[in-house]
Amino acid sequence: MSRIVISIVLGALVAAGSWAGDPKPGGAPSISIADLHAQREAGAAPAVIDVRTAGEYASGHIPGAINIPFDEVAERIGEVEAPHGVALYCMVGPRALKGESALLAAGYETVFHIEGGLAAWQAAGLPVEGTGSTTP
């Protein structure tokens, strides 16, 4: 049964990824989980911002991610050291898009959308930190 659920989730992520990549007009470009992971390994990744609530962040997040709720990101972006830009995520995408829009409207240029959010990160078998975290 769990293999069926995993297959459905992975299929949905692949389908979602087929239309991701280039930004919509006025939107942030996306970065794949694989590219983000490779950039992190090379020490050249954008700062990762989790735009979910503090409770969601505590239950599990990408290691090293900074928690700034989407509705505060434009005001608090100065707290983030980001020589390679910033990459935002939520569980699957909608709140990250709102945060990205706010940053772009405020004049920030090096903003990325993490394709598939935390769900894609976990589906790729990458580790998460937090009280509900799992490490492969």
Residues classed as catalytic: 90
Q: Identify which of 92, 36, 47 has the alpha carbon closest to the alpha carbon of residue 73.
A: 47
Distances in whole angstroms, Cα of residue 98 to Cα of each of 27, 72, 74, 103? 10, 10, 10, 9
Buried b (16+ CB within 10 A) or exposed e, 40-75: beeeebbbbbbbbeeebbeebbbeebbebbbeebbe
CA angle 99, 28, 63 (to 5 degrees): 60
Q: Which tokens belong to 23?
A: 């930004």
Burial class for 39, CB neighbours closer than 10 Å (0-12, 13-18, 19+): middle
